[in-house]
Amino acid sequence: MSIMKQQCVSDLENERKNCSFDKEELTNIVDGGVEKTQFRRRLEEYFLRDPQFLDSIGPDYMSHEDRYANELRKACHMIHKFSENEEINQVIGRPDGVRSIMGLGFLGALTRDGNPLQLHLGMFIPTLIGQGTPEQQERWLGRAVLGEIIGTYAQTEMGHGTFLRGLETTATYDPSTQEFILHTPTITATKWWPGGLGKTANYAVVMAQLFTKGHCYGPHPFLVQLRDEKTHQSLPGLTVGEIGPRLGMNTSDNGFLRFDHFRIPRTNMLMKHSQVLEDGTYVKPLSSKLAYGTMVYVRVGICFYSCHLLQKAVTIATRYSAVRHQSEMLPGMPEPQILDYQTQQYKVLPQIATVFALLFAARRVGDTFIEATTSMNKGNLAMLPELHAISCGLKALSSTDSTSGIDICRLSCGGHGYLASSSFPRLYTLCTATMTYEGENTVLWLQVARYLIKSYQAAKRGEVVGPSVAYLVGKNTTEIRADLSDAGLLGACRKSVCAIVAEVESRLQHLCSKGQDYHHAWNNMSVFLVKCAQVHTRYYVCEKYVQAIENLKLSDGLRTILRNLCRLYVVNHIIVHQGDFLRCGALTASDMKALEEEMGDLLAALRPQAVSIVDAFDLDDFILDSVLGSKDGNVYQRLYDEALKSPLNQKDVPDAYYKYLRPLMKANL
Ligand SMILES: CCCCCCCCCCCCCCCCCC(=O)SCCNC(=O)CCNC(=O)[C@H](O)C(C)(C)COP(=O)(O)OP(=O)(O)OC[C@H]1O[C@@H](n2cnc3c(N)ncnc32)[C@H](O)[C@@H]1OP(=O)(O)O
Ligand SMILES: Cc1cc2nc3c(=O)[nH]c(=O)nc-3n(C[C@H](O)[C@H](O)[C@H](O)COP(=O)(O)OP(=O)(O)OC[C@H]3O[C@@H](n4cnc5c(N)ncnc54)[C@H](O)[C@@H]3O)c2cc1C
């Protein structure tokens, strides 16, 4: 064993000796229970040890087409393995089965840079479940689950992604043939972006403006066959293709689609919520927003997904920080592990704390989703506005924090973090996409703000408002801070959110009273409205974090760790945004000093446990896919071995030298 390897390995071994808690207990909490850990491990064994998921050469060295083909190969193999596994079949058969399987983060690692079947699994099947009638599900769902038909979710157009009411694709009902005629009237109406649309999918859920009897009823979902089931050739009357290279996700064949008066049967409109009868009569849904149901589902999924990406990044960064030695802390002494620098701890440890914050909050929003959909299925839509606001807020917060957290982790690994083999570039590009897709984050923050302001005004009038916003009026606004305990800090958060919302609402009203119409006043206040949404959502996350730890049954050792992480999260948030707390008098300058001191203590207390905590995430080396983050810490050998795989290293003198450099250098001429 080389000296370097020995040192790296013993660094991690020493770290692991410090562990003051039961790792398995923490793993179970991360998974959501002992049984879930066991289930995940069984499936990981089944998938990750299968050599078919290995790449013959690194995807970064493949052509665009070969990379797509390689990931498609693995994605199809994954579906085969789904159908061959009795346990998975049983789970998929349950009402929440598809969600449970999709929620297994490790599946994302089977394909590296975007899965061509992700939209099929993540949106097409859920839309059939959420928007299709029982007869429609009978017709398509079973085939979709088996992979006999592959679909995508085609909503966004070149001209409109955010503003759904602005979609231009039309679906006009023709009662004489009982068909809808799908048409793309302009270049901007071209469907643009859907994953898997380019070359993989032979079906799509297409969102189009529904016209019947001369009226437009807004965007509705239609099940459209795109390609022949035998030849896979695109059907006459439509044009479909791939949109070209992206920042990342380059193997998800994001596509475009145009219709030229393309006809589909009436029964292909997904009619669970609204219907068009044979004679063209439109039957209204209970709420027009039910057509947006799949987006709400996926926004909840993104809260889990972005958190999982951060979990990977922080595992890599923490292990690397324990094996990397650099500079001198004490003059003349050996170079310390970089994790011993307080500034390094401040990069890594808050990201670990964030993983738990996002995970606990995602679980709460997941529960709200299940509760709301259960009552919606019984015709009660009362929870829909609250679900929409919470899922928008948490999707925006999770994706933003995970993306910035991943980049902080990358930076914490210095130069090596910039290598593709560190995995950070891929983690970053996968995560930053979650800030845009499924609702661009600013737009989602403004949806939350709309709900906040309306609820605040309603609460001031004495009306009952949703549970997540009930705190906006009443004693919280005048609450006198007692101490810096968890409860005290949550009280300070509440007070500052209440102050910010009250001030922004009053400035909004002021603009209106000066003669601005509400929409202009709204736009002129929108920077601050976004802020309202952000502080409210942050408070939601902090509150759920504290509650989760209070409610979990934990051993003392683990309780201390999780409590310290939670404190670090809340205290750091308050320090970073201290202006919000000082401005409304929720906290004082001397409180801030005390909190800063506490933060230093928390970093020091958590430092010895950092490697063990990320070990407890139980992420297999295959999942991490990083030369910097593997379990054994053998960083330098892996870096070197990976570099040797570069095609440029297969010849000492590359062909390009003879073509370009030699003439320039005038060598041997
Ligand atoms: C649980 C575990 C899970 C496991 C995991 C599984 C999942 C794994 C994840 C897989 C990842 C898959 C990859 C995904 C790839 C990306 C796919 C896409 O981007 S696809 C493309 C994604 N594209 C996008 O996301 C587009 C984003 N744009 C939009 O969603 C909409 O245009 C809008 C919301 C911005 C405005 O809509 P507009 O119609 O103009 O509405 P107005 O503003 O005029 O407000 C009117 C009223 O409606 C209300 N309301 C609104 N929405 C909802 C709702 N959903 N509901 C309820 N209510 C809603 C609103 O509050 C207001 O109420 P009020 O105040 O009147 O009471
Ligand atoms: C990797 C990836 C995968 C995708 N997959 C799919 C898919 O499978 N299916 C699908 O249908 N779509 C998909 N999309 C499209 C995606 O959903 C949209 O790009 C997204 O909803 C944003 O819409 P937009 O592109 O129209 O952005 P725009 O709305 O044009 O955003 C541009 C800017 O305008 C601002 N803006 C827009 N409206 C407002 C407003 N009301 N107030 C304030 N600011 C505003 C935004 O904040 C942003 O800064 C995907 C996109 C990406 C990047």
Give the residues surrounding ligand 1 with Cβ less than 6 Å away. Answer: 99, 102-103, 118, 122-123, 153, 155-156, 161-165, 195, 289, 292, 295-296, 298, 300-302, 304-305, 366, 369, 384-385, 388, 437-439, 443, 447, 450-451, 454
Same domain, 311 and 349: yes
Domain with 214 in it: 148-285
Q: What percent of the chain has pLDDT over 90?
A: 90
Residue 56 lies in a domain: no
Same domain, 305 and 174: no
Residue 237 lies in a domain: yes
Q: How far is CA 437 from CA 244, 442, 628, in A?
A: 17, 12, 29
- For residue 155, the ligand 1 atom closest to its alpha carbon is 21
Name which of 4-18, 26-40, 122-136 the model is least confident about: 4-18
Q: Which distant-in-sequence residues (6+ apart) come within 8 Å of 590 by Cβ?
A: none
* Residues forming a β-bridge with 170: 183, 209
Any ligand 2 atom below 6 A from CB of 530? no
| CA-angle at 205, arms to 203 and 209, nearest 5° | 135
Any ligand 2 atom below 6 A from CB of 162? yes
Tell me the pLDDT band of 226, cut-offs 50, 70 and 90: very high
Same domain, 546 and 411: yes
Q: Which amino acid residue places its CA nearest to atom 18 of ligand 1? A: 438
| Per-residue model confidence as pLDDT tens digits over 264-313 | 999 999 999 999 999 999 999 999 889 888 999 999 999 999 999 999 99
| Per-residue model confidence as pLDDT tens digits over 533-562 | 999 999 999 999 999 999 999 999 999 999
- Tokens 């930053």, residue located: 432
Tell me the pLDDT band of 92, cut-offs 50, 70 and 90: confident
Q: How far apart are CA 220 and CA 355, in angstroms?
A: 36
Domain stops at, among 259, 285, 311: 285
Q: Residue 13: which CATH number?
A: 1.20.140.10
Same domain, 250 and 309: no
Any ligand 2 atom below 6 A from CB of 443? yes
Q: How far apart are CA 232 and CA 241, in angstroms?
A: 13
Tell me, in angstroms, the distance from the centre of ligand 2 to residue 218's CA. Answer: 19
Q: How far apart are CA 471 and CA 199, in angstroms?
A: 50
Q: How far is CA 183 from CA 199, 217, 263, 281, in A?
A: 21, 16, 9, 21
Same domain, 398 and 519: yes
Positions at the binding site for FAD: 156, 195
Q: By C-alpha distance, which of 351, 421, 363 is closest to 390?
A: 363
Q: What percent of the chain has pLDDT over 70?
A: 98
Q: Quick one: which ligand is closest to 384's CA?
A: 1
pTM value is 0.97
Decide if 208 contacts 222 (C-beta within 8 A).
yes
Any ligand 2 atom below 6 A from CB of 381? no
| Per-residue model confidence as pLDDT tens digits over 490-517 | 999 999 999 999 999 999 999 999 999 9
Segment 118-137 shows an average pLDDT of 96
| Per-residue model confidence as pLDDT tens digits over 52-66 | 999 989 999 999 999
Tell me, in angstroms, the distance from the centre of ligand 1 to residue 444's CA. Answer: 8
| Per-residue model confidence as pLDDT tens digits over 306-344 | 999 999 999 999 999 999 999 999 999 999 999 999 999
Same domain, 416 and 279: no
Residue 123 lies in a domain: no
Residue of 163, 164, 436 to mutate, ligand 2, most atoms within 8 A of C-beta:
436
Q: What is the pLDDT of residue 194?
A: 98
| Per-residue model confidence as pLDDT tens digits over 439-497 | 999 999 999 999 999 999 999 999 999 999 999 987 766 666 679 999 999 999 999 99
Q: What is the pLDDT of residue 668?
A: 60
Q: What is the pLDDT of residue 446?
A: 98
| Per-residue model confidence as pLDDT tens digits over 375-430 | 988 989 999 999 999 999 999 999 999 999 999 999 999 999 999 999 999 999 99
Q: What is the pLDDT of residue 103?
A: 81
Q: What is the pLDDT of residue 428?
A: 98
Any ligand 2 atom below 6 A from CB of 219? no
Decide if 367 contacts 576 (C-beta within 8 A).
no
Tell me: pLDDT of 6 over 80. no
Averaged confidence pLDDT in the chain: 95
Residue 537 lies in a domain: yes
Q: How far is CA 271 from CA 98, 178, 276, 285, in A?
A: 21, 15, 8, 9
Buried b (16+ CB within 10 A) or exposed e, 558-587: bebbbbbbbbbbbbbbbeebbebbeebebb
Q: What is the pLDDT of residue 477?
A: 67
Q: How far apart are CA 590 and CA 596, in angstroms?
A: 10
Same domain, 316 and 465: yes
DSSP 269-305: B--SS-EE-TT--EE--S-GGGGGHHHHHHHHHHHHH
Domain count, the chain: 2
Tell me: pLDDT of 623 over 70. yes
Same domain, 523 and 572: yes
Q: Residue 178: which CATH number?
A: 2.40.110.10
Decide if 202 contacts 234 (C-beta within 8 A).
no
Residue 137 lies in a domain: no
From the list 15, 44, 386, 438, the catalytic residue is 438
Residue 7 lies in a domain: yes
Any ligand 2 atom below 6 A from CB of 83? no
Annotated active-site residue 438? The verdict is yes
| Per-residue model confidence as pLDDT tens digits over 451-463 | 999 999 999 999 9
Same domain, 240 and 362: no
Name which of 102-106, 138-142, 202-206, 338-342 the model is least confident about: 102-106
* Helical ranges in 85-124 per DSSP H: 86-92, 97-102, 118-119
Instruction: Enter the DSSP assignment of 248.
Output: S
| CA-angle at 224, arms to 223 and 228, nearest 5° | 135
Tell me the pLDDT band of 1, cut-offs 50, 70 and 90: low
Q: What is the pLDDT of residue 474?
A: 79
Q: What is the pLDDT of residue 454?
A: 98
Tell me: pLDDT of 8 over 90. no
Residue 58 lies in a domain: no
Residue 261 lies in a domain: yes
Same domain, 279 and 355: no
Q: What is the pLDDT of residue 94?
A: 80
